[in-house]
Structure 1
Amino acid sequence: MNLLLQTSQSDLQAQIAVTGSKSETNRLLLLQALFPNITLANTSNSDDSEVMQKALKGKEEIVDIHHAGTAMRFLTAYFAVNEGREVVLTGSQRMTERPIKVLVEALQQLGAQISYEKEEGYPPIRIKGQKITANKVSIPANVSSQYISALLLVAPKLQNGIELTLVGEITSIPYIKMTLALLNDLNIQTSFEGNVIKVYPKQEVETKVMTVESDWSSASYFFSLAALSNEASIALSSYKETSLQGDSALVEIYSKMGVETHFEENKITLVKTPNFNFESVNFDLNNTPDIAQTIVVTCLGLGIGCHLTGLHTLKIKETDRLEALRIELTKLGANISVTNDSLTLVASKEINSNVKIATYNDHRMAMAFAPLALKVPIIVENAEVVSKSYPDFWNDLENLGFQISEI
């Protein structure tokens, strides 16, 4: 499905309910599988979370998680400690190209039985669930934080918990802290000192309702819309001023790009700062790589330059996001260069119109480029990919006055 996006709106006013955080939901779904007396509220309606839920409840030997990277990492750990269960964990063509070796080797250090069905280091993998008694393991600190969170989430059910040593400089600390905070909410004891994380065993937790905060990554597109508008007052629910999600850094980042964030009860309101003086921006996104695409597209729309660093994990996402950004932004007329872990955009006032944006089966490519329709008509190819994390995205844009037509 290719969509033409255009709008004559320059004043954006709306109230939008954003679905629960995919990151929190998938962590809590795994914890609920380990501790069935937990009840969840405001869970994500994303494809990824639905795939995760189906895999945890299913009894099949072959578990196909399609494009859901978080599910691949979390379920690898879950099935490794699910004593007596044997599964083959697989996914889409792109998933079979995304590395899993670091996590597999960490689980094998603990005594897990995991083997590769095809190419070593990549799915599909065969997992024979074991009782795990070893508790000391090390893992490179600069890998995807999902590998680390996968180990931490299953740790309470291990006979001796886990003592995890992170080797090197740690990436995406907010996501690790989110995992530990959710464990702490269930009165599971943890510690994180220096490069060593400990999670202590706990066989049962008390009955509890866990409410998922709305997704800050999804909110990023509305920050971009507010920045690119002439005037904006966009209310989003449900958000907390003290969030577990690293992408809540959007509040500070977009304050430097002309957007004020007002917190009130359980919502935020994004307001365009009048007469804001725009300048080129530099951000280290080591802790928040998922919002890089949104930020660079915003900068293109504002006609300002940017230099973004800390992006090394983007190469192993749904697509190589750095290369995808280089290709698509160049089509729009941008002067952009990328390295293995950084991106530089040169300021320019010209944007090519009616450009077809390829999405590479990546939900964030589709949503990050959509706000540019405030400046020029654009065409988003395979627009249905948004269902991976935000199925209602196009409807919510229409509520903001966008004209969206299938072509």
Structure 2
Amino acid sequence: MMIKELHYNKVKGTVMVPSSKSYAHRALIALSLSKGKGTIHHVDLSSDIMATLKCLEDLGVDFFIKEKDITLDATSFGNRRDRVLKPEESGSTLRFFIPITLLFDEVYEFRGSTSLLRRPLTVYEELFRNLDIMMFRDSLESIVIKGKLEPGDFSMRGDVSSQFISGMLMVLPLLPGDSTLAVTEDFQSESYVNMTVNVMRDFGIEIHREGDTFIVPGNQAYQVRDYVVEGDYSQAAYFLAAGALAGQTKVVGLNHASTQGDREILSILEKMGAAITPVEDGYEVHKSELRALDIDVSDIPDLTPVLGVLLSLSKGTGRLMRVDRLRFKESDRVKTTVELINTLGGEAREEGSDIVVTGREKLIGGNIYCHNDHRIVMAASVASLGCVNPVIIDGYEAVGKSYPEFFHDFQKIVDERFIG
């Protein structure tokens, strides 16, 4: 584990956010499913994106990386080079590629970290039970799957992870007949499914929606095209929060009209009292006295740790509501968010399906163990801006999962004249 000590109390500066990891996963897969040649522009490489690229490579796709452009040659897609796919620690990669392998009716094995394969796969297990598809856990680090997906009328739960729904939707147009996919239970993280549908349409796929049922004509083909990935609101949230807590930040590289669910950070900050001004290609945020809110995070789970930090430094008591699905992220993010706040001298507790946070004018600081969770690392960094004493982050290298350049960008905005 690597350790980083942070002790800054003021920020001022501009950050260009990285590209949306969620959009990049989907665009790389869509271009590969086209079986053509094209370039995905503005991709920031992280360990999760590399996991998706390596899985595509094992399915016959060649790729060439030049700075932030990734050129794919998918003309041999489906001519597998390895039956063992390694999603590493990327939940998106695992859940997207399981249906992709069902296009081929061959045996595939997924090997990943134990923490990844402990995350729920029940939605697929329930779906495949009634189909001629075999899926079983060979060990704590291995899942084996065999079968061929045929068109039909499918039903999937929406209360575990939207990634299962996205994974199925991406392959249904390629089947030799029409299909429907009905989402049952509580449809959470719906914005991520909308993102999937947007990318599919960008690559020429026809898909319709009636209520919570998706209607997908079969015998379609993804169209070859170049694609530019927009900036990531999930990552922008940390720098927007930093400005609201400790000075002034300008966060650029963002699409004002984005449909990303985590764009909700802007509305939340404004409701808390933050001063936000749109600028060209982004937003500027100034330090403000923040007031606590009750926030439903079921559609914005990745924002939970940084929202917890904001509440811990706000006036009053607020709730992060409907957090149950966060128990199955890189860490049990309910426990680790509460632990982060309390370790730094704040006041947070679990209460049913909520996290309750009582704000303080200042936190104390201390040593944070990040449980190999990139979002806990970044939230701890933002929290350090409101701490009297240093924050020492154990395992800060976990940011490589989604944002390898996070601390490089964080250093751009901290003002070293204001330390302690």
**Structure 1: distance between partners of 2:131 and 2:40:** 30
Tell whether the 8 Å contact from 1:39 to 1:210 is kept in structure 2 after alignment.
yes
Segments of 5+ residues of structure 2 without an aligned counterpart are 59-80
Matches within 5 A, 1:319-398: 319-339=331-351, 341-353=353-365, 355-376=366-387, 377-398=390-411
Matches within 5 A, 1:1-400: 1-8=2-9, 10-14=10-14, 16-37=15-36, 38-58=38-58, 59-81=81-103, 83-118=104-139, 124-130=142-148, 132-229=149-246, 231-237=247-253, 239-265=254-280, 267-272=281-286, 276-339=288-351, 341-353=353-365, 355-376=366-387, 377-400=390-413
The alpha-carbon deviation at position 257 of structure 1 amounts to 2.9
What is the aligned partner in structure 1 of residue 66 from structure 2? none
The alpha-carbon deviation at position 319 of structure 1 amounts to 0.9
Tell whether the 8 Å contact from 1:286 to 1:310 is kept in structure 2 after alignment.
yes
CA RMSD in angstroms, aligned pairs only: 2.0
The alpha-carbon deviation at position 344 of structure 1 amounts to 0.4
Tell whether the 8 Å contact from 1:282 to 1:308 is kept in structure 2 after alignment.
yes
Aligned length: 390
**Structure 2: distance between partners of 1:44 and 1:109:** 39
The alpha-carbon deviation at position 203 of structure 1 amounts to 3.5
Tell whether the 8 Å contact from 2:317 to 2:358 is kept in structure 1 after alignment.
yes
Amino acid of the structure 1 residue aligned with 2:101: F
Name the SS for the 1:208 alignment partner: coil
**Structure 1: distance between partners of 2:82 and 2:352:** 39
Distance 1:6 1:277, change over 3 A: closer
The alpha-carbon deviation at position 163 of structure 1 amounts to 0.7
The alpha-carbon deviation at position 84 of structure 1 amounts to 4.7
Amino acid of the structure 2 residue aligned with 1:392: E
Say which is worse superposed, 18-27 or 201-210, in terms of deviation: 201-210
Distance 1:243 1:161, change over 3 A: farther
Tell whether the 8 Å contact from 2:274 to 2:289 is kept in structure 1 after alignment.
no
Deviations 1:228-276 (A, max 9, x none): 11x3132321x112213100111111112343444444x2122216xx4
The alpha-carbon deviation at position 303 of structure 1 amounts to 5.0
Tell whether the 8 Å contact from 2:205 to 2:220 is kept in structure 1 after alignment.
no
Report the TM-score, using the length of structure 2 for normalisation.
Answer: 0.87
**Structure 2: distance between partners of 1:129 and 1:42:** 35
**Structure 2: distance between partners of 1:206 and 1:363:** 34
Amino acid of the structure 1 residue aligned with 2:251: A
The alpha-carbon deviation at position 161 of structure 1 amounts to 4.2
Tell whether the 8 Å contact from 2:191 to 2:261 is kept in structure 1 after alignment.
yes
Segments of 5+ residues of structure 1 without an aligned counterpart are none
Amino acid of the structure 2 residue aligned with 1:91: G
Amino acid of the structure 1 residue aligned with 2:311: C
Tell whether the 8 Å contact from 2:244 to 2:286 is kept in structure 1 after alignment.
yes
What is the aligned partner in structure 1 of residue 63 from structure 2? none
Report the TM-score, using the length of structure 1 for normalisation.
Answer: 0.90
Deviations 1:301-321 (A, max 9, x none): 345432111222101111110
Identity of aligned residues (%): 25
**Structure 2: distance between partners of 1:110 and 1:41:** 38
**Structure 2: distance between partners of 1:77 and 1:339:** 36
**Structure 2: distance between partners of 1:25 and 1:94:** 23
Amino acid of the structure 2 residue aligned with 1:398: Q
Name the SS for the 1:4 alignment partner: strand
Amino acid of the structure 1 residue aligned with 2:97: L
Tell whether the 8 Å contact from 1:80 to 1:114 is kept in structure 2 after alignment.
no
Tell whether the 8 Å contact from 1:359 to 1:380 is kept in structure 2 after alignment.
yes
